[in-house]
Structure 1
Amino acid sequence: MKTKISSGQTILFIGDSITDCGRRDDRGRPLGLGYVQFFADLMTIREPEKTVAILNRGIGGNTVEDLRSRWWDDVIWHKPDWLSIKIGINDANRNLCSDKQSFLTPGQYEEIYDQLLALTKQKLPKCNVLLIDPFFLSKDAVHGSYRGKVVKHLPKYIAAVHRMSKKYNTRLIKTNELFHRILKHKHPDVFGIEPVHPNSAGHLLMAEAVHEAFCR
């Protein structure tokens, strides 16, 4: 199936380490070694007649507040035709593990996300936006365990992304649901050595989902 992306258009990916995936290192430059590069490869083999520009602006460790601090330079300035946003797991983790008031609650996370999307809609009204919700590759159900807390806490951030997608009529990938459907049959280690960062199989799953979303 062909995407709705036209030749000559620009696709920009922004997010945290899952998007970054080494794109700032010599070995992974410029697209990284993860789903952004895999998506570019899918475009090459499935739609070779199209010439598109793909930009990766992921930075490891970023939260939605970090995205706000660089949104103009890393998104608006480039005037992308297609924009993919993947952010939230660091917000959820830091909200759980820190007693500092500076780390964002789900409500604050949603408020800043809303600001970014409103600005994008204002400055880039023709931009096609894709939201990718945060995921956590664990089925931990042990009472009181940290992983169990994340599994229980993360849906608040996921729900915020879903509300933003509905409000701004964006494309949406429910990656947490996507991974957990497969985790009914496979151990989480199949997709990553720890719950936050997927391996190549996990990144390939994400790249396929992105390509499919851009076909809609």
Structure 2
Amino acid sequence: MMHRAFQLVVWLLLGLIHIDAQVINAGIAGNTSTQLLARIENDVLKHKPDLVIVMVGTNDMLNSRRMNTYKQYSSNLSEIVNKLKQNNAQVVLLAPPPVDSIYLFERHDRTEFKELPNVKLDSVRHIVARTARKNQVYFIDIFQKFQDLNLPKHNEDVFIMNPNNSAYRDGVHPTRLGNFFVAENVFNFLKKNDLIKKGDRVVCFGDSITKGSKVKGSVTSEGETYPAYLQKSIMDYVASEKITVKDKQN
């Protein structure tokens, strides 16, 4: 048994066998685009990713202790994309979901806001879309996906944490169902655009929404985080379809 396990490890290292796409959760709570840019080498590039999914902007706009201007956010996001492209990674940018401002203002200073929170996130959505177009990378409007369902609904919906669905007066972080909804939209987009390759390494790069705050498997690609649901969907798809192994030499 030990000999067989050692043999499998050696084969993996030599590239003689290939695992299904691996999804890495690189989300850290409280991060703005400034922090993502500072840790991109250690937390993303060192993994030599084939695909990086970036969702950031909630803290840039709504964390009253570390807000960035639209200009700074846009500049940081562009630099993140450029670094990823320079390292030959495919890039998918996500616009973060809307929030329940009532609970947001229970822990962030309302006087720091010159615009309503979801107005700011709507502006972020347009910055992300513009950055994607300019840099010829992919864009998924998660903000609009939530808005299409009229989410969040204060104390009523099951997608954004509130006391009735999670016992948290939160208003920002998705529940397990919210994370599943994000992952489902990302997976469907990847499949539609032929971005799922067997053996690829995928990094989900972002803040506490990517991390999976207050759900099972937080900071991992297991449990109830959106990277966890995404990994399961990819692995199921790879197992059921004839997905070829990408030639890493090209």
3-state secondary structure, aligned to 1:85: strand
Task: Report what 1:204 is aligned to.
Answer: 180
Structure with bigger RCO (C-alpha 8 Å, 6+ apart): 2
Structure 2: which 5+ runs fail to align?
1-11, 13-17, 103-108, 163-169, 194-250
CA distance in 1, matches of 2:40, 2:80: 7
Task: Report what 1:129 is aligned to.
Answer: 91
CA distance in 1, matches of 2:187, 2:82: 25
Contact 1:137 1:180 in 2 (8 A): no
Quote the offset at 1:186 in angstroms: 6.2
3-state secondary structure, aligned to 1:172: strand
Letter in structure 1 aligned against 2:91 = V
3-state secondary structure, aligned to 1:190: coil
Quote the offset at 1:137 in angstroms: 3.2
Identity %: 27
Task: Report what 1:106 is aligned to.
Answer: 70
Task: Report what 1:51 is aligned to.
Answer: 20
Task: Tell me the TM-score normalized by structure 1.
Answer: 0.65
CA distance in 1, matches of 2:151, 2:176: 19
Quote the offset at 1:168 in angstroms: 1.8
Task: Report what 2:125 is aligned to.
Answer: 158
Task: Report what 1:169 is aligned to.
Answer: 136
Quick check: 1:179 aligned with 2:146?
yes
Structure 1: which 5+ runs fail to align?
1-7, 9-48
Letter in structure 2 aligned against 1:198 = P
Instruction: From the superposition, tell whether residues 197 and 122 of structure 1 become closer, same or farther in structure 2 (CA, over 3 Å).
Output: same
Q: How many residues align?
A: 158
CA distance in 1, matches of 2:117, 2:152: 21
RMSD over aligned CA atoms reads 2.7
Q: Which has the larger radius of gyration?
A: 2
